[in-house]
Structure formats: C-alpha cells, structure tokens
Structure 1
Amino acid sequence: MSAVRVLLVDDQELMRQGLRKLLEIEEGIEVVGEAADGVAALAAIDETRPDVALVDARMPRMDGVELITRLSAEHPGVAAIVLSTFDEDDYIFGALRGGAVGYLLKDCSPDELVAAVLRAGRGETVLSSPVAARLVANLRRTPAHGAFSGEDLLSGREREVARMVAAGAANREIAARLHITEGTVKNHVSSVLRKLGLRDRTQLALHLTERRS
C-alpha cells in the first residue's frame, strides 16, 4: 500500500517544521509539501498531489475554511483535516460544511495526529473528542424536525433514520427505538448518504440542520 501523501498548510513556519519532523518518520506517511496560506496551498496541489491536506484555521490571504471549500470543489480527492488552536463553532461547522473530513485541536497527542492522517487517507472522518462533543451538543440543541434538502428522495423510514442520526443517535439506539436490526439501520444510513450525495454521518447531521428555504 502506498504512503499517504500530506500537504502541510500553516502560516507558522515553526509549526510546519514540527509537523514535518513528526510525520515524516512515520511509516505510511509522506510529507510532499508545505504552504503558508490557502492561496499557496491551491497553487501547490497540482505539483504535490497530496491525499491529505493538514490545514490551519486562521491564515492570511485565505483562511482554512475558505481553502477547504475550494479544495472540495476543485480537488475533491484531497481529504482536508483542520488542525487548529480554535474550537469555536464558526470554524468547526464552517470547515465541516465546507467539506473537511476532520477537525483536530493542536493540543492533541502525536499518536492522535498520526492516526487521524492515516484514517483520513482511507476516507474516514476524524474529530477530536472536544470537537465531537461540541458537534453532538449543537445538533441536539437544534433537532432536525423541519424539511431538509433532498427529503423527497427518501422513504419514510429513511427520513426517520436520518433525523435520528442528526440528533446524535448511534445505530444501536436507532435500532432499539424503531424495532429493527442494527444491520437494517446501517443499510438505511448507507442509502440515505447515497441518495443525498453525502460522505458520512457527520455530513448528514450537518445537512439536516440546515433548513430548506
């Protein structure tokens, strides 16, 4: 299996050097480039061909949220992870809605960062524990009872499952409440994601909290 190719995007050179030293000693990870802001990162994509972009939230010229939104539109094969000191809702939800596959805080452990890069390279979503807790708390405060974009594409049961996912329910909880098996829940979730063109449960939850105009 080829190594996960990583582009480091941070306006602090010391941070980029530290991340490079940390990641390049790991088997299965190759640091292929660095950029000091979003503009430079976009310019470096074609040359470096990264699988994963490790992106700071606050940068000059183009911040992390704007960069991730551009990457999702122009380079959908690049999985973006935010690595930031900020756990503010605007950054977290902006990045996730923009297409980020993960959001980590800079006080995470080296092992957590390495694992996140490898998981992102496999197409998985990675959230630090504080960020995941913030996401679930926000979704529980704003349950998705209203209409949402693409609702008419789903069956009645799929809509039930989708709304329960948006409220932070696990497959086991959904299965118990709907009196169906966990396998059936998984099938419904997969069908919902496919019909709505979403990547994972995190994107589904965010999608359902955005009311259709």
Structure 2
Amino acid sequence: MEPLHLFVSDTPAQASRLPSRRWSAAFPAGRSQNLSALLARSASNEVVWLSSTAPDWKEALSTLVSNQPGRPVVVLSPSPDPTEGLSAISRGARGYTHLHAVPSVLQEVGRVVVRGGLWVGPELVDRVVAATRKLLDPSVQSGAPAGPDPLAVLSAREAEVARAVAAGCSNKEVAEQLGISERTVKAHLGAAFEKLGVRDRLQLVLRVTRGK
C-alpha cells in the first residue's frame, strides 16, 4: 500500500495549499493539512513534508517528531544549505531536499524515508560523514591503519558505482562516468545496498569511509 503524503500548511486557512506543482505531480493523492490536524491523525503509513519557509518550521518539526516519531518528516527548502540541513536532521527530519526538485527525485525521497533511510544532499552528506567519523571512528584521530575493504563483497562494477555515489555523484553522473544507463546504475546501487546492509546513500558513504 502506497503511503499518504501530507504537506504541512502554515495555517488552517491555507489547508488546501500545496508546496509546488512538481510535488503535486509526484504525489497526485497528496494533500495539505495544518499542524494541529496532522498531530491529531494516526501516524500509520504517512510521510509529512514541511517547508523551511514556514514560520517556526523548526518548532513544528520538533513537535511532529516528538509526538509521532514513527512518521517520517521531510523538509523542503527553496535554497538548500548544509547548515539548515543539519538543523533539520538534528531535529529528527528523515529527509532534506529542494522545494522545487523534479517529481522523480521527490518520489525517490519518499521511498527512501519510508524504508527508514535518510535523504540529504551531497554537501550535507560530507559534513555529516566528517562529524560522524570523528565521533565513531578512533582511527581518524589516532592514525591507525585502515581496516579491510568494506566493498570487497561487491562485484567490480557494483564497487565502482558505490565509490562514485559515496564521492557525491548523482546517478546520472555515475552513468556518464562509467558509460552505462541510469537504470543500470540504480540496479547496481540496489544490489550494493542489499549486500552491504545499508538503506540509503548516507549509510553507504559511512560504510565506504570507515574502510579508508
């Protein structure tokens, strides 16, 4: 069953307003609701989308996450910025992406967060990875030798795709670099996720960097 996508409107009077035509195209059954109405709903099989242009969006995000932690929240920004993205993720958002992203990207964001993954842009991934490695990997500071190659379980092509994605390349950029189709990139990436036991690109980056 497909999840229901709900956009947080600023006020009850704006309850019919949706974030963009592209969002509406991505989720034809999606609709808008004010924060109070959302908090009164069951959190089953729903994804909430919140714009960073909304007044007090940070407080709204924290309220949504604390009241219904099982329902993923994605923050949409008209001008994505790593600092703003970190603020959203630190408050419990499961995704952070451009307000005017194309429908296919928005749909992919939805799929990732529903699976329990995290969706952020390449710049934010780099910052999160750097901070996480310092906290979780003592070898980063101690100069200890790297461990075994975390991608050894992958085929040669899957490893190429995984490393390119971990470096911040989009599926399209990976396809151009390797001379393959985007569909093939997605297939290799899906296989890599399964073999490595990761759910999203951020987890993939962390897995790759821990072997360096």
TM-score range, shorter chain: 0.5 to 0.7
1:22 aligns with 2:12: no
Give matches, 1:62-73, under 5 Å.
62-63=56-57, 65-73=58-66
TM-score of the aligned structures, taking structure 2 as reference length: 0.56
Which residue number corresponds to residue 178 of structure 1? 147
Structure 1 unaligned spans of 5+: 152-158, 165-175, 191-199, 205-213
Could you tell me which of 103, 119, 127 is aligned with 1:126? 119
Tell me the number of residue pairs that the alignment of Structure 1 and Structure 2 aligns. Answer: 153
Q: CA RMSD in A?
A: 3.8
Q: How many Å apart are 1:181 and its aligned residue?
A: 5.0
Distance 1:179 1:21, change over 3 A: closer
Aligned AA for 2:24?
Answer: K
Identity %: 16
TM-score of the aligned structures, taking structure 1 as reference length: 0.56
1:44 aligns with 2:34: no
Structure 2 unaligned spans of 5+: 154-192, 207-212
Q: What is the alpha-carbon distance in structure 2 between the residues aligned to residue 17 and residue 104 of structure 1?
A: 13
Q: What is the alpha-carbon distance in structure 2 between the residues aligned to residue 71 and residue 100 of structure 1?
A: 9
1:136 aligns with 2:129: no
Q: How many Å apart are 1:17 and its aligned residue?
A: 6.4
Distance 1:99 1:183, change over 3 A: farther
Contact residue 83 and residue 103 of structure 1 kept, 8 A: yes
Q: What is the alpha-carbon distance in structure 2 between the residues aligned to residue 119 and residue 97 of structure 1?
A: 18
Q: What is the alpha-carbon distance in structure 1 between the residues aligned to residue 41 and residue 150 of structure 2?
A: 47
Q: What is the alpha-carbon distance in structure 2 between the residues aligned to residue 8 and residue 87 of structure 1?
A: 18
Could you tell me which of 95, 110, 120 is aligned with 2:103? 110
